[in-house]
Amino acid sequence: MNAKVATNNPIIKFIKSIPPVVWITLVLISVFSMSSDRYLQFSNFSNMLVQSVPLMLVAFAQTLIVLTQGTDLSLGAQVSFVTVIWIYLTKAGVPIYISAIVAVLMSMCVGAVNGLIVSKGKIPPFIATLGMQNILNSISLLLTAGASIYIFNPLFHNVTQAKIVGLPLTVWIAALMFLITWVVLYKTKLGAQVFGLGGNQEALTLAGINLIKPSIKIYAFAGLLTGVSGLITTCRLESGQPVVGAGWEFEAVAATLLGGTSLREGKGGIGGTVFGVLLITILKNGLNVSGVPSLYQNAIIGMIILMSIVIDALARRAKS
Amino acid sequence: MMKNSIKNFKRSQSFYSFIGLALVFVIASLIVKEFLTFNNIITVLRQGSVLLILSTGLTAVILTGNMDLSVGAASGLVGCLCAQLLKSGVPIPVVFVIGLITGAIIGIFNGFLVGIVKLPSFIATYGTNWVVAGLSIIIMNGDIIYGLPEGFTWLGTGYVGPIPFIIIVALIMVIVAYVMLQKTTFGRDIYAYGSNKDAALYSAVPIKKTLFSAFIMSGVTAAIAGILMTARLDAADSTMGDAYGLQTVAAVVVGGTSMLGGEGGITGTVIGAILLTIIVNVMNLLGITSFAQPMVVGIVILVMVLFDSYSRRRQNTTVKKDSKKSN
């Protein structure tokens, strides 16, 4: 009886179709708006959008890999690696645009190696990428002796301050990368293979489809996304920082799961991931605006993210 | 019969780990002349004790086919908590109990996330790792604590005859873990769970209890390791457990315990932990910066896991060939 009413009433149907992530986001916004007057200002929201860009790109990468039933724990380290390589090479005299391209190419190579190890070596993606995470961290720390490295160049400032039609350039870049990822995922053969890898790998193998090449391409594409994220991060910090991306891989996994992509079935997409990232950014921003000491933030953010994943998983199971 | 058991030993992963250990040992004593001295061997074992204790608990979790990425942070949190309690004058035995309970709670939390919520274990425990590391920062308030009571630091620095006490604790932990995993129903349940979860369920293995026990074991060994770490350093800071997380995973995997669960055990883990400690020790003796350590540990993990996957596939094809022959 109840089910019948629900399917007939378009309002209830609409409410039911909204994923939990949107509810959690709304609850957070209302909690934070109560704790600070400045919270509900437009400038704060526009700020949050800009803050969310680097994580957004990493989360797109993570979503692609989760759709193949993998997880890439090296994505955060890739971002740090790119910021370090870009500044390091530029400092060594390479023209700034060339070193940017080299840094992104290197992170794509890192991705390709991940893909090769995972598919050809047939080892669990999280352990392969955990190994890669530590190798990259070492390289970043060795190149910088553990500290931030700086160069002075107006390019960084220009990138972060530029606006097109009222919106910051970095937000447009995120939108463009969203579009590219969307096209790759839904309009190309590679995208079909992503869903194939996540769906039934054995069936693909039996059908004589080689899984190695698509894996390499997907992880390399993830490397492209983290590369661009690394460049934007460098522009914002105007420096290369060996540990800046630590933990982003976890936040990206959380954003992906909260956005409705399933870890086990190869279902979902990057649309939901956008909301997942916004949720995490709102959370971080809200803690700052309401004056929670930074000392407490790691534990609180981790806890709330974990709780959200748990609530989401339980809600999903109750539905099915 | 004899030939078969030799063949089995040669096929087991611990055999390769043992050869690896022997090789690393020989290479280490050839390139560093300080390596093969009594003092340095004791140093290696003393350095390895914390890792060894952490690895025994993690072995139980990996044998169930799961992962616990929170052990490093858990040991750090317990160490920080104990140091803070000792500083405020809480008696040592009470501190121990609180430390162990904290470890068990972290284990129960992980067990809940994996067993009840059914999150993939590496995601759940990666999350726990962040939360627990964050709690350590809160407890320490951004400070470092040093100058702990002598009765406490003796655990990490004291000697029984010529042998450091910490090595004896590690040895006892290894024996306890070995007996638990190889000689008890709990151990059999863990192996059964890891090799085939569905079959285990049908043969009345208490699935949830086994999973929770494995995570609690990992949490408690992390707590013991954290206490000893703090006692040995005579200090605590919020990041002290961080490096151990990856090293522990490496020790278990290098020891030949399969990431898929159900295969391997404590013997291999002991070999793996000592092998890893020797590598770190040699890097220290050679004066290589600590920034390079994650890279070496990461490479060791990748090589061993690739090797494990490769030899497992080769083993599968030879088994197929053997069965063809008998047909």
Q: What is the pLDDT of residues A85-117, one digit of tens each?
A: 999 999 999 999 999 999 999 999 999 999 999
Cα angle at B305 between B301 and B306, to 5 degrees?
A: 115
Fill in the amino acid letter for B81.
L
A135–B298: do the CB atoms touch at under 8 Å? yes
**The dihedral of CA B87, B93, B97, B100: what is its sign?**
positive
Task: Identify the CA nearest to A61 among candidates A279, A253, A266.
Answer: A253
Other Cβ atoms closer than 10 A to A152: 7
Confidence of residue B227 (pLDDT cuts 50, 70, 90): very high
Contact B55, B269 (CB under 8 A): yes
Higher pLDDT, B148 or A21: B148
pLDDT attached to residue B81: 97
DSSP conformation letters of B187-234: HHHHHHHHH-HHHHHHTT--HHHHHHHHHHHHHHHHHHHHHHHHHHHT
The pairing of strands A167-168 and A163-164 is antiparallel
A250–B137: do the CB atoms touch at under 8 Å? no
Q: What is d(CA A112, CA A223) in angstroms, rounded to the nearest whole number?
A: 8
Task: Tell me the two tokens of residue A214.
Answer: 């698509």
pLDDT attached to residue B161: 87
A313–B117: do the CB atoms touch at under 8 Å? yes
Task: Identify the CA nearest to B46 among candidates B273, B266, B234.
Answer: B273
- Collapsing DSSP to helix, strand or coil, A240 comes out as strand
Higher pLDDT, A22 or A134: A134
Please state which architecture CATH assigns to domain A47-319: Orthogonal Bundle (1.10)
Residue B20 has pLDDT above 90, yes or no: no
- Collapsing DSSP to helix, strand or coil, A57 comes out as helix
pLDDT attached to residue A5: 47
pLDDT attached to residue A307: 85
The string of pLDDT tens digits covering residues A164-185 is 988 899 999 999 999 999 999 9
pLDDT attached to residue A309: 82
pLDDT attached to residue B3: 58
Task: Tell me the two tokens of residue A114.
Answer: 């991940």
Chain A residues in contact with B302 (beta carbon < 8 A): 117, 128, 131-132
The CA-atom distances, in angstroms, between B210 and each of B66, B180, B220 are: 12, 12, 15
Mean pLDDT over each residue of chain A, to the nearest integer: 87
pLDDT attached to residue B76: 97
Q: What is the mean pLDDT of residues A26-44?
A: 77
Residue B94 has pLDDT above 80, yes or no: yes
Q: What is d(CA A219, CA B196) in angstroms, rounded to the nearest whole number?
A: 31
pLDDT attached to residue A173: 96
pLDDT attached to residue B8: 61
| A264-273, B18-27, B314-323: which is most confident | B18-27
Confidence of residue A3 (pLDDT cuts 50, 70, 90): very low
List b or e across A109-137, with b for residues whose CB sees 16 or more CB atoms inside 10 angstroms. ebbbbbbbbbbeeebbbbbbbbbbbbbbb
Q: Which of A56-70, A168-182, A275-289, B68-82 has the lowest mean pLDDT?
A: A275-289
Q: Dihedrals φ, ψ of A167, to 5°?
A: -110, 145
- Collapsing DSSP to helix, strand or coil, B153 comes out as helix
Confidence of residue A6 (pLDDT cuts 50, 70, 90): very low
Q: What is the mean pLDDT of residues A284-295?
A: 83
Chain B residues in contact with A299 (beta carbon < 8 A): 131, 133-135, 137-138
Higher pLDDT, A214 or A82: A82
Other Cβ atoms closer than 10 A to A13: 11
CA distance B72 to chain A (A): 14
pLDDT attached to residue B324: 54
Other Cβ atoms closer than 10 A to B187: 20
Chosen for mutation from B112, B140, B296, B302 (greatest number of chain A CBs closer than 10 Å) is B302
Contact A225, A60 (CB under 8 A): yes
Q: What is the mean pLDDT of residues B12-21?
A: 79
Residue A10 has pLDDT above 80, yes or no: no
The string of pLDDT tens digits covering residues A184-227 is 999 998 888 888 777 777 777 767 677 889 999 999 999 999 99
Interface contact A307, partner B, CB < 8 A: no
Other Cβ atoms closer than 10 A to A31: 12
- In chain B, the percentage of residues whose pLDDT exceeds 70 is 93
Listed by start position, the domains of chain A span: 47-319
Contact A224, A104 (CB under 8 A): yes
pLDDT attached to residue A4: 45
Please state which architecture CATH assigns to domain B13-314: Orthogonal Bundle (1.10)
| DSSP secondary structure code for residue B239 in this structure | T
Confidence of residue B78 (pLDDT cuts 50, 70, 90): very high
| DSSP secondary structure code for residue B263 in this structure | S
Higher pLDDT, B98 or A30: B98
Listed by start position, the domains of chain B span: 13-314
Task: Identify the CA nearest to A47 among candidates A157, A160, A154.
Answer: A160
Q: Which of A24-33, B10-19, B97-106, B121-130 has the lowest mean pLDDT?
A: B10-19
Higher pLDDT, A188 or A20: A188
B249–A128: do the CB atoms touch at under 8 Å? no
B310–A121: do the CB atoms touch at under 8 Å? yes
pLDDT attached to residue B170: 96
Which A-chain residues 15-44 have CB contacts (< 8 A) with chain B?
none
pLDDT attached to residue A1: 42
Interface contact A305, partner B, CB < 8 A: yes
The string of pLDDT tens digits covering residues B274-309 is 999 998 889 888 988 889 989 998 998 898 888 878
Interface contact A287, partner B, CB < 8 A: no
pLDDT attached to residue A85: 97
Confidence of residue B1 (pLDDT cuts 50, 70, 90): very low
The string of pLDDT tens digits covering residues B121-151 is 988 999 999 999 999 999 998 889 999 999 9
Chain B residues in contact with A250 (beta carbon < 8 A): 126-127, 130
Q: What is d(CA A48, CA A50) in angstroms, rounded to the nearest whole number?
A: 5
CA distance A80 to chain B (A): 15
Confidence of residue A8 (pLDDT cuts 50, 70, 90): low
The CA-atom distances, in angstroms, between B150 and each of B154, B234, B279, B291 are: 6, 9, 31, 32
pLDDT attached to residue B49: 96
Q: Which of A177-181, B50-54, B160-164, B221-225 has the lowest mean pLDDT?
A: B160-164
B291–A146: do the CB atoms touch at under 8 Å? yes
Confidence of residue A2 (pLDDT cuts 50, 70, 90): very low
Contact A48, A285 (CB under 8 A): yes
Chain B residues in contact with A301 (beta carbon < 8 A): 130, 134
A250–B131: do the CB atoms touch at under 8 Å? no
Q: What is the mean pLDDT of residues B99-117?
A: 97
The CA-atom distances, in angstroms, between A9 and each of A2, A5, A13, A15, A157 are: 11, 6, 6, 10, 52
| DSSP secondary structure code for residue A149 in this structure | E
Q: What is the mean pLDDT of residues B169-186?
A: 95
Mean pLDDT over each residue of chain B, to the nearest integer: 89
